[in-house]
Every structure is written in structure tokens, then in C-alpha cells.
Structure 1
Amino acid sequence: MHIEQNILDKVNVWLSPIFDEKTHKEITEMMTSSPKELEESFYKNLEFGTGGMRGIMGVGTNRINKYTLGKNTQGISDYMKKSFPNEQLKVAIAYDCRHNSDTLAKIVADVFSANGIKVYLFSEMRPTPELSFALKYLKCHAGIVLTASHNPPEYNGYKVYWQDGGQLVPPQDAEIIQMIEELGYDQINFKANEKLIEHIDKKIDEAFINSTIENASFNTPAQAKENLNVVYTSLHGTSIKSIPDVLSKAGYTNVNIVPEQAIPDGNFPTVKSPNPEEPEALTMALALADKLGADIVVGTDPDSDRLGVAVRDNDGKMILLNGNQTMVLMTAFLLEQWQKEGRITGNEFIGSTIVSTPMMLELGTAYNVECKVGLTGFKWIAKMIKDFPELKFIGGGEESFGFMVGDAVRDKDAVAATLLVCEIAAQAKAHGSSLYKELLNLYVDFGFYKEYLISMTKKGIEGAAEIQTMMLELRQNPLKEINGQRVLMVEDYQNSTAKNLFTGETETLKIPKSNVLIYYLEDGTKICARPSGTEPKIKFYFSVNEPLDSVEHAKEVEKNLDQKIKNIIAEMHLQ
């Protein structure tokens, strides 16, 4: 197999004395036994995406390893010194259950401490939202989480948080990336100053748990909490460190943990993917729920920032809600509670993303609360909180099973969201209703919105080129009609334009540039195409809606909407 010279040049750098013998040995083995893998490991540098940096663990510039993360950390250290001169710099570091997460976290801590930066390192794995909380609680300048979220076992990752507790956003992200790229691997300082590394655990845990209960509890009677039958699974991840304690302390006594998935394990042995977005991941939890007659199932991903929720429908069957459904349920409940308490004054907002359900805008309008919409990723919702300090953030989410309650944590937070969804379910049950019935009532009030996601995996060099071609075709030859409905508007976030295809008028989009295309049809249908920022995937999001005059007609309307989505997918040749 022929390997390009630019790749061989990178390989030769990694065979220099800067790198350790173990790295040399692994590269040498790949050169003889697996040249294709060598090419994949070095053909590009691993990049920051919507959720930081994620990749397969191994040697090379396109892999997660001691040197790629060391270089990141050295660049961030240099940037912090430049940004906060004459201050005692502080960082917090957390890690999840993945293979090597603890080792990589210590390497990151070593590099920060070697640069004279005080490090608060969690003594054991902890949920990602606790890192965001700890960063603010300890008044740190930055924070790092070692996690690859819900990716397969061979992956790991590196999320960077800034002073406000949110992930990196412009301009800091580009400035930091530039400093990292300008560094040579020989400039990484790995010589730890152990005196600057302090381990943290119980004190922060207690503060985080108390804050979560304060933010996500809404006067649910004790009896209602005791009557709610909950099944919960951590899917072998970090939420086991927080969620059972939060629910117990909040008064939920009937919480049944899936025992086979309660032990943290980076192999995720009982699931194909530890992703609560995928129904298969909750198979064991659903079986336990049926055995126990549970009212609700909650499952979280490995770093506990997303949650999947299953509820009983009107026939008593357990069904998995999608991220848009859990988001509108939680947002509507928060708005109702804030209104009851007289806390809506006109200076509040909720948050969502451009690929999430338009129903969020309808909810905001109904309660006279602004719904701010940003790019995919909770860093943009966190940025809204930072950019509008005069406004109070109520809550918000995105379709990918994430939600944030208030601003104590500045990232999606499955710990607080789990408590909140239990509060809604407990209150609904106490009033003779259910989560599912509450959702149908919202559809009667605001219209039945149905969303669907297609995610296509395209790995490696060829996959990246294929994704690029698909987006290019949609841009250069935009569809004029889909499923018998004319395309009214095309928003292209890469060149910041919104073009009305009826009038030819073009407006400038104010949201930052991103490789996203959205088609709006004349019947209110919304179709979005977006390459993932953290995985080798291209995603297509569909949102359709119809009025619902009564709960009794919900099945009929849902059937119509499902058929509409199928027709659109077939016409666009996506399946």
C-alpha cells in the first residue's frame, strides 16, 4: 500500500526521541502489519468539534493519547497565562468510566501543574455536570473532562470548559487551537509538580447534590414521591455516583437500579452502545420496569450528561420518548412552575438549538418568555447565559437527549434532569395523569410535533469525503419541492444566509457560522442536514406537525405524521 509523503513525515516525527519507546514500538508494528491503520492514525490532526475533542485511543496525530492531549493541555496552559496575567491559575479535572480515562486525567493534571497551575483533580470518576459545577464552585479559570460521552469503547475524549462553567466558545476556541497548533511536541512539559495537585471528592459531591435538589425540586408532596415507581440505569457509567443519592435525598424511595449495569465498566458489556438515544440501550431497564410495574424508566450515558426516558402510554405499554419530547415536557413544566410562583417578569428566557423542535418557540410565546435558539451543543446555551446576564435562564435543551435546569451547571445535565422528570411524573401520577398524558395535552395546546433523526456513519478518509459531497450537493442543487410541498426557505449556516425561494430575498443569519443546512417547507415541515462535530457521521433531522383537536385523535394524527416523514425520507433517497 502506498502511503503519502506528508503522512510519512508525521510518522518520522513520532519516531524521534521526543516520543517514548512504547510509541515507537506501536508505530513500527503498524508500518509492517497495518499500513491502513497507520494512515488513519496520522492523515490529519484530531480536531475540536461541538463537544471538544473525541477520537479512537492509540498512537498518532489523529488519535487520543498522551501526546495529543499533552499538547492540548500545554496550549491551554499557555493561553491561560496570557488571558489571566498575575493570577494564581486554577483548573478542575474530572473523568468518566472509560479505559485510560483515569490515566489520561493524571497526565493532563501533570502538564497543568508543571506549568505552575493549581489542579483540583477528582479522586474517582464523576459525572460531567459535576465538573461544570465544581469549576464555578472552586472559582477555577478552566476545567477538563476526560470522556467520549456515548461513543464506542475504543474512544476517549477531552472537553474543555472555561471560567463561566460552559464549554469553549468563540473567540477562545480558535485562539486556543491556534496556540496548540503552533506548539511542537518537544514543548510539552510533562514534569508534574505534585504539590499543586489536590484531590477532591466528598465536599464537592455534597455541594453538587444539594444544588441539584434546590434547582430541580418543585414542591412535590412526599407521598407523591414515594408513590412513583422508578427504574434507573447508569449504563455502566458515572451517574451511579450521583443520581441514586440525589433521588434518595430528594425523597424518592422507590428507585430500582438495574443491577447488571450499575458497575462502571468501559467495555459497556450489556449494550451495543451506551447511548440512551438508542432504544436497545434501555432493553434491560424496560424489562425490569415491566416486571415491577414501574411508572418511568431513566437511563443515562457514560458521562451522565444525556438521559433517555421511557413512560407508559395510554395502553400501559412502555415507550421511549425522544429528546424533543422530554425537552418540551420539562420546559413546559418549568414555565408553569415559574408562572405559579410569580417569577416570570419578562426578563427570563429558555434555550434551544437550530436542529431541535420548533415547539420550543411555541412554548416560549405562550408564557411570554423569549426562546433563544443557537447552534447544536450546550456550549451555545451556556454562552447565552453569559452574554445576557440581565436575563434569568429557566431551562433548555436540545434534541440529542440533553437538558439543563437553571444555570448552576452550564452544560447538559442528566443528574438534574433525572430529578426534574421524576418531579413531573410524580405530580402527574398524584393528579391521576401520567407523563405521556401530559405530553398529549401539550400537543392539543400547541400542535402535534413529531421529530425523527437519521444518522449515517461514514468512517475514515473516504467517509469524510462522502459527507462533504452530500453537503455540497444539497447546497449547490437545493431541493425546490419535497413530498408535494414547496420549499419556502433555505438557511445555510456556513455562509450565514437565509434565502426565501418564493421571493428570492436573502437575509443574513446572526448565529455563528456552522456546516448546517435547513429547509423549511410551506406546511411547517423542517429538514436539517448537519455533519457531526464529534463523530464520523452526517445527521438528517426531520420535524413535521399538525393540529391536534383532542387527545382521542392522537394516534391518528401521529400515524399521519409518521407517514409524512417516511415519504420525505424516501423522496430524498436517505434510506
Structure 2
Amino acid sequence: MNSLDQELQAKVNQWLSSEYDEATRAALQILIDNNEVTELTDSFYKDLEFGTGGLRGIMGVGSNRINKYTIGKATQGLANYLKKQFPNQVIKVAVAYDSRNNSQSLGTLVADVFAANGIQVYLFNELRPTPVLSFAIRHFGCQSGVMLTASHNPKEYNGYKAYWNDGCQLTAPHDTNVITEVNAIHSVSQISFQPIPENIIPVGDEIDKIYINENKKLSIHPEAVEAQKDLKIVFSPIHGTGITIVPKLLEAWGFNNVSIVEEQATPDGNFPTVIYPNPEEEDAMALAKKKGEELDADLVLATDPDADRVGIAVKNDKGSFQLLNGNQIGSLLVYYVLSSKKEQNQLNNNPYVVKTIVTTNLQAEIANHFNVPYYETLTGFKYIGELMTKLGDSATYLVGGEESYGYLVGSLVRDKDAPNACAFLAEMTAYYKSKGKSLYEVLLDLYQEFGCYQEKLVSLTKKGKAGAEEIKAMMSNLRANLPKSLGGIAVVEVRDYENSVAIDIATGTKKVIDLPKSDVLQFITVDGDVISARPSGTEPKIKFYCSVKAPLTAKSHYEQLQKELATKVDRMMADII
């Protein structure tokens, strides 16, 4: 093992000590015996850190892997911080988990560590969606909460989403403060693993009923649901937690013709029918789409493993099913909510919508059309939740979300909420069907009114230590060599969120960006096109987002315009990737 540097070797040796259990030491010894230098390096070169979605990584042995010790250390650090923040109080946390391999056992471990620290734990006794955990934190009056999930990552991953008392994932200063507490733990002996059993309170399906009832109160057009209660809906949980809530919520909403994709109905952390359990991926949606075609469905829905994201397929003008992207789904939701609220004279009490900096500007156009303020946040729904908490009762959150298939209508939770979005997507489909329109037709109406937007996301995967260094170098190179044009179109503004500055290329004038620092670069062209470069906070990827726009004079021109815009996007992307 001479290939490991001294610091790495010391960390490996520590994990071989008697502090760690026999199974951990045996698994590590196998890597050593097989001279797995790259795997050992990637497993130990750093400690897992909180990103936009919390702690997330590949399951295995090491400080940079998800295992009982890294999860235990994170929980002990959070427990220590909670005790400092809420002295002389009864501290309560909620803990839930998804369908991933080891999620349940890790959830139990988290509950045990909290309980061992004298903290009262509301532990879900079965897997549940992430938004239900967010809801439960506020319902039970908890100071914090933890969700064991790696969202839509491949099966090798698991993760740990940490929440504050508002039901939102940790934001500043709590995120960095918790990391400080976690980093202060240098020995397994500092982690309390032995629980006080009476501190653990099991949570059953009683919380589901409350969550469902509160969601049902948000319905905007119950009369449309009643008129279209036999709307043909196909739903797939993609082997995840959506099966526990979405069918019940749709039934409570009033829909009685929901068909489940049986091949993907059973929770299974191996995700046997897909490579990536992500509704952004066409392959993950394939079985749901196929069932939709067989049943001639009105709407096809699919949620990711922890049911905070949802993808849909709808019939296009040729009668075949087409997947909509996250920007399109979100724009339809924003338009439906705002237009319906205006129709009912309910755009009052300082309403607002929220989108992230890489989400389509079509949503801003729609908000402006209805004279409703919109806010932009950094990528990561925790920033939307943080804004909701900050504005509190002084304004009314209506709808918002991310291009990565995460949406929320109403303010019951402080995270993206796929069951909530599924109900509204179904209601929206029913409402427009009552008016003789499909969601596809409504989307083209939006494009005619506000301009046709075309977006593309390119994700480059760069794994391990070498990958992290490559991503860092790519961003450094972009900052050092700012492109003057993209696809032959002049860049007029650069927004550097890491340095909190927007630069006018022609004048050199700089404006301060009033958002937290984040490693994101945006390039705005003279045409109003936007290209963003952003390393992911939860995956070993760097992401490039492109959005372009052109007038759509007639629906019959849509296909041709799409092709032209797609060509433009590819030309621009080629100059930056």
C-alpha cells in the first residue's frame, strides 16, 4: 500500500483499529489485500460534506462513504449542535427513510444516536416520502429532522438530508455550524450509539391522513375534478416511497381511475427496472409511458425514490405520449395556479412565486403577466424553503420549483413535494380537459403568448478525487477565459455567483448579486439566451444549462421552431463544454 500518501494511510489505519466493528475492518482489509488504491483513495481522501441536498455518497467503508460511522458522526454532530441551540429544552426530531438499500437500518441508527443523546425521536415505522418528513417536523413541533435518502441517484448511493425546525433543509448558518460540530468529532468513542428506548416514538400512517387532508384543502378547482373523476391516470413510484402516499392522495382528491405500473410498484433499493431511478431520464419513464399508451391515459406520472420529484408524459398533437421537461411542467403549474387564483379573485395577501437561477425565465414572464412578484434563489430547494420561512406571514407563497422536476404548490412543507405536485398536475389536467384542452395544447398556448423557450441540460460525470479536481479546474478555466460569444452570439453579461458580481461586458460595470455565494457562472447573450455552468452539490457532476427563446407565431410552426432552437442550443453549448 505504498501508493497511499501518509495522511490517507493514517486514516485507513484508524479504520482498522478496534474502534470500528469487525464487519467494517474486514471489508476494508479486502480493499487493502486487493491493492484497490483508487477505491481506497476515493473512500478516504476527504470526509463527506453537506451540499445542496445534505450528505450524499456511495455506500461503503471510509470517511467519504455512507456507512454507520459517517452517518453516526453526522448525527452526533447535529445532536451536539441542537443541544447548544436549544439549551434546557425538550429537543424533538423526526426521522424517516426511503426504499434504498440500508435506508431503514440507517434510519434506525440515526434514531438511536439521537435517543442516546437524550433527544426525543419521532421515527417513522415504514418508509415515507421526503415531503412527509418535512411536514412531520412542523406538525410535531420538532427542532430538526433527518431523511435517509439519496433521492434519484443510482443504487450504490445513499444519503442524509438534515432539516431545521421550519421543515427546510439546513441553510446558513446552521449548515456550516453543524459541519463544524461534525468535524470536531475525531473518534468513534465520541458517538453515542446506545439508545434510550423510551426516547423513540414510532410514527404510523396517522400522519399520512393529516398530510393528505391538509393537501386536499389546497385544491383550486374541485368542481373540475368532480367532472373528470374518471380521468385516466397512470402512476409509477419507480420502486420508491411514492406508492405509500400518491395513490391515496389522488383518491382523496377525487380521482378514481388511477392505474399503477405494477413492475415498479414494490419498493426496492436495487431499482431492478431502471439504471437511474430518476424521472428526468427517459428510460426511467419508459414503463409508465408504455402503460399510458396501452390505457390511452390522460396523464402519466412517475416519482423518484423519495418522492420529492415527479416527471410526466402527456399526449401531443399527434396523439402519442411525450415527456415534458422540468421547466415545462413547472411553467404549466405556475400558469395554472396564477390564472386560477386570478379567476377566483384570490391574488391577494402579497402572493409570490419562486424559481431558481437555472430555471426557465418563462415562469418569470408568467408571474409578471399576472403582476405577481417572483423571486430567484440558488439551486437547491432549501433556498426556496429558506425564503418561505423568511417572508413568513408577510406574504403568501403560491407555487414554485426547480427545473430538476421539483415543485411545491402551497406552503404545507418547505421542500419539493411530488405527491402534492401529482395532485395538482392531475387537477390541472382535469380542469383543462373540461375546457377541451390537453396539457400539451396549453403549453403551446403559453409559448404563443410568452415566447417559445427551449432548454437543455448537459451533465458531465467526474467521479472520485480526480473528477472533483477536474470539475474545479473547468470552473477556474471558465473564470479565467470568459467567452465573448457563444454559438456566434455576443455575450453581454456574466454573472459570477461565487464572487457575487454581475459584469456588463461592454462597459465593465459591476453589480452586486444579493444571494449567498455559490460556484455558478452564467452567461447572458445579446439575444437574452442564458447558459449556466454549475458543479452539482449532491453528485459527482458538473452541469451546463442552456435556455433560448424565440417568438411562436402559430402552433403549426412549433416543430420547426423547436428544431431551429435546438440547433442554436447545440452551437452555444459546443463553445462552452
TM-score category, normalised to shorter length: over 0.9
Of the three residues 127, 133, 136, the one matched with 1:134 is: 136
> What letter corresponds to residue 467 of structure 1 in structure 2?
I
Match of 2:218, SS?
A: helix
TM-score where L is the length of structure 1: 0.98
Query: What's the offset of the Cα at 1:359?
Result: 1.1
Query: What's the offset of the Cα at 1:551?
Result: 2.1
Partners of 2:575 and 2:12 lie apart in 1 by 45
Are 2:101 and 1:99 equivalent residues in the alignment?
yes
Residues 225 and 427 of structure 2 are in contact (CA less than 8 Å); yes or no, is this contact kept in structure 1? no
Partners of 1:369 and 1:431 lie apart in 2 by 25
Q: Which runs of 5+ in 1 are unaligned?
A: none
Residues 226 and 254 of structure 2 are in contact (CA less than 8 Å); yes or no, is this contact kept in structure 1? no
Of the three residues 285, 292, 296, the one matched with 2:299 is: 296
Residues 52 and 534 of structure 1 are in contact (CA less than 8 Å); yes or no, is this contact kept in structure 2? yes
Match of 1:393, SS?
A: strand
Name the structure 1 match of 2:310. Answer: 307
CA offsets 1:518-540 (integer angstroms, 9 cap, x no match): 00000010000000001000000
Aligned residues: 573
> What letter corresponds to residue 170 of structure 2 in structure 1?
L
CA offsets 1:467-515 (integer angstroms, 9 cap, x no match): 1111111100000011221101000011111000011101111110000
Query: What's the offset of the Cα at 1:132?
Result: 0.3
Are 2:561 and 1:557 equivalent residues in the alignment?
yes
> What letter corresponds to residue 163 of structure 2 in structure 1?
Y
Residues 515 and 530 of structure 1 are in contact (CA less than 8 Å); yes or no, is this contact kept in structure 2? yes
Match of 1:368, SS?
A: coil
Residues 228 and 429 of structure 1 are in contact (CA less than 8 Å); yes or no, is this contact kept in structure 2? no
Name the structure 2 match of 1:404. Answer: 408
Name the structure 2 match of 1:519. Answer: 523
Name the structure 1 match of 2:461. Answer: 457
Residues 216 and 416 of structure 1 are in contact (CA less than 8 Å); yes or no, is this contact kept in structure 2? no
CA offsets 1:234-259 (integer angstroms, 9 cap, x no match): 10000000000011111111111111
Are 2:321 and 1:318 equivalent residues in the alignment?
yes
Partners of 1:224 and 1:517 lie apart in 2 by 48
Within 5 Å, which residues of 2 pair with 1:438-517? 438-517=442-521
CA offsets 1:412-439 (integer angstroms, 9 cap, x no match): 0000000000111111111110000011
% identity of equivalent residues: 47
Partners of 1:227 and 1:39 lie apart in 2 by 56
Name the structure 2 match of 1:53. Answer: 55
Partners of 1:20 and 1:479 lie apart in 2 by 53
> What letter corresponds to residue 40 of structure 1 in structure 2?
D
Q: Which runs of 5+ in 2 are unaligned?
A: none
> What letter corresponds to residue 5 of structure 1 in structure 2?
Q
Name the structure 2 match of 1:339. Answer: 342
Partners of 2:219 and 2:143 lie apart in 1 by 26
Name the structure 2 match of 1:210. Answer: 213
Query: What's the offset of the Cα at 1:138?
Result: 0.6
> What letter corresponds to residue 28 of structure 2 in structure 1?
I
Match of 1:376, SS?
A: coil
Partners of 2:389 and 2:288 lie apart in 1 by 38
> What letter corresponds to residue 456 of structure 2 in structure 1?
Y
CA offsets 1:201-247 (integer angstroms, 9 cap, x no match): 12101001111222245324345332421111010000000000011
Within 5 Å, which residues of 2 pair with 1:101-500? 101-184=103-186, 185-345=188-348, 347-389=350-392, 390-500=394-504
Partners of 2:37 and 2:571 lie apart in 1 by 43
> What letter corresponds to residue 444 of structure 1 in structure 2?
Q
Residues 212 and 415 of structure 1 are in contact (CA less than 8 Å); yes or no, is this contact kept in structure 2? no
Partners of 1:281 and 1:138 lie apart in 2 by 35
Query: What's the offset of the Cα at 1:173?
Result: 0.5
> What letter corresponds to residue 197 of structure 1 in structure 2?
I
Partners of 1:517 and 1:317 lie apart in 2 by 38
Query: What's the offset of the Cα at 1:17?
Result: 2.2
Are 2:22 and 1:21 equivalent residues in the alignment?
yes
Partners of 1:39 and 1:468 lie apart in 2 by 18
Partners of 1:510 and 1:519 lie apart in 2 by 17
Name the structure 1 match of 2:42. Answer: 40
Within 5 Å, which residues of 2 pair with 1:524-539? 524-539=528-543
Deviates more, 1:558-567 or 1:295-304: 558-567
Partners of 1:347 and 1:369 lie apart in 2 by 8
Partners of 1:360 and 1:330 lie apart in 2 by 9
Partners of 2:58 and 2:140 lie apart in 1 by 32
TM-score where L is the length of structure 2: 0.98
Query: What's the offset of the Cα at 1:28?
Result: 1.5
Match of 2:126, SS?
A: coil
Residues 220 and 426 of structure 1 are in contact (CA less than 8 Å); yes or no, is this contact kept in structure 2? no
> What letter corresponds to residue 283 of structure 1 in structure 2?
A
Partners of 1:227 and 1:523 lie apart in 2 by 45
Deviates more, 1:470-479 or 1:550-559: 550-559
Match of 1:221, SS?
A: helix
Match of 1:311, SS?
A: strand
Partners of 1:352 and 1:523 lie apart in 2 by 21
CA offsets 1:290-333 (integer angstroms, 9 cap, x no match): 11111111000000000001101111111100000000000111
Match of 2:46, SS?
A: coil
Match of 2:457, SS?
A: strand
Deviates more, 1:354-363 or 1:235-244: 354-363
**Counterparts in 2 of 1:145 and 1:10: CA distance versus 1, 3 Å:** same
Name the structure 1 match of 2:5. Answer: 4
